[in-house]
Amino acid sequence: MAKRETGLRFQPSGGTRATQLPTGKKQRLTIERLANDGRGLAFFEGRTWFVSGALAGEEVEAMVLNAHGKVVEARSERQFSTSPLRREAECRHFGRCGGCSVQHVPHDEQLALKQRMLAEQFSRVAGIEPQEWAAPISGPEYGYRRRARVAVRWDAKAKRLDVGFRAEASQDIVAIQECPVLVAALQPIMAGLGALLHGFAKPQVIGHVELFLGSDRHAETPAVLLRHTVPLVESDLAALQAFCAVHRAQVWLQGEGPPTPLDPSSELGYSLREPDVQLAYRPGDFIQVNAAVNDAMIAQALEWLAPRPDERVLDLFCGLGNFALPLARKAGAVVAVEGVAEMVERARSNAVANGIDRARFFQADLFSPLAGAEWAVGDFTAVLLDPPRDGALEVVRHMARLGAERLVYVSCNPATLARDTVELLKQGYRLKRAAILDMFPQTGHVEAMALFEAGQEAR
């Protein structure tokens, strides 16, 4: 499990070594407040407890999931007293499935919690707060997820196939037939998937299954990708084809090579609302799972960066062109850089397909020094960054040298955003504006956008 940045108090070390708490032990606790990830915080007998499914002020019975020294991860099994904020979870699997951890928290409180987490990271790591907080970008609470990975595991001893999502803090699989955060077009596929796979003659060859919803300007296209360790037998392949035909879904298979459609003409894509852009992708490519928030995020990035027809704009970690192609509709020229060669080729193809000729695409390792990079020559008035969770420290160190007057940083990890903010402040940039992006409602996952502007020192 990833290390959690909490900024919490712990009891001083020393004295007799505490007895390790066994998994499954239950303890009655009073929750003091919420941690940044939405779990309840309690302090008992020198230990700090993180209790999922609990709210501030509640008295709960918590079951230990993991214990490491003086930190205990637990789950609320029942409430002896209930917070007035608590609401009924939409999903009947809440509390067992590890996916949506804050369904019991009203959505406006979820947004407030995520903004507090981002503000704390800016304050604690960078010693700063934005000059302005913009309103959170959010969309529907449910029915938003257009991509999902379904866990599949063959239990050879029990001769049983488990199909569903991972349990909280466990490798166990929770059998799931419905998931309210999936888009409507994927709901019936999810409902029937378990029965389909349980009927396979050779279910032990299945690695995992991914569900997608693609679209173009005219229609939505569901797709099912099945990962297999050896090729499917004919009867199982026929059953998969028949199932997907009922749901009007594409069939994709993946063995040792890349994902391949059963019908060579199959294509996946998604549309951007404004400006009108269609992006093609393949299973395995990174796409934003929340279409409504993605559209709003792009619109806000364009507004904040405000590219002009006489400016060169740099888009780093450009992926399929999610930001680069909309930017190229407004800027004089866009230089877009991505680390994955296949994504660069698809971004180039997407530019051609959309009639965009003001964007140039390059493949480069953006976690290495930029010295000598051909794409980094010349000034860029505006820069957009959309890095993975590791952040963008190496390229951020070069911002002032690239000539950037305005920088929009889109982050999926507030901790690395705050770390990179420290470097930008050293170069004379100001944190002008920030906002959270509610890409994953019902979870504690926080995405953010920040606008930096150069001061005299950075020019």
What's the pLDDT at 148? Answer: 97
Residue 9 has pLDDT above 50, yes or no: no
**How many distinct structural domains can be found in the chain?**
3
Last residue within a domain, chosen from 237, 269, 301: 269
Position 99 in a domain: no
Same domain, 233 and 317: no
Same domain, 299 and 448: yes
Same domain, 22 and 159: no
Residue 10 has pLDDT above 60, yes or no: no
Q: Using one digit for the tens of pLDDT, what is the confidence trace for 316-338?
A: 999 999 999 999 999 999 999 99
Position 370 in a domain: yes
Domain range spanning residue 124?
Answer: 110-140+290-458
Kindly report the CATH number assigned to the domain that includes residue 62: 2.40.50.140
Average pLDDT over residues 340-348: 96
Average pLDDT over residues 41-49: 97
Helix, strand or coil for residue 92?
coil
Same domain, 307 and 448: yes
Position 274 in a domain: no
Spatial CA neighbour of 211 closest among 198, 220, 199: 220
Position 98 in a domain: no
Query: Which residues are marked as active site?
Result: 412
Kindly report the CATH number assigned to the domain that includes residue 332: 3.40.50.150
The helix (run of H) or strand (run of E) holding residue 164 is strand 160-166
Same domain, 135 and 249: no
Same domain, 76 and 153: no
User: Model's pTM, two decimal places?
Assistant: 0.92
Same domain, 9 and 129: no
DSSP string, 185-238: GGHHHHHHHHHHHHT-S-GGGEEEEEEEEEE-SS-EEEEEEEEESSPPPHHHHH
Position 100 in a domain: no
Instruction: State phi, psi for 414 to the nearest 5 degrees.
Output: -55, -30
Measured from the Cβ of residue 80, the count of other Cβ atoms closer than 10 Å reads: 11
Position 278 in a domain: no
Same domain, 161 and 114: no
Q: Using one digit for the tens of pLDDT, what is the confidence trace for 146-172?
A: 999 999 999 988 989 999 999 988 889
Position 29 in a domain: yes
Same domain, 412 and 432: yes
Same domain, 369 and 444: yes
Position 92 in a domain: no
Same domain, 237 and 386: no
Same domain, 136 and 210: no
Q: Using one digit for the tens of pLDDT, what is the confidence trace for 251-285?
A: 999 999 999 999 999 999 999 988 889 999 999 99
Last residue within a domain, chosen from 219, 237, 269: 269
Q: Using one digit for the tens of pLDDT, what is the confidence trace for 11-28?
A: 444 445 557 899 999 999
Burial 166-200 (b: 16+ CB within 10 A, else e): ebbbeeebbebeebbbbbebbbebbeebbebbeeb
| Cis peptide bond N-terminal to 441, omega within 30 | no
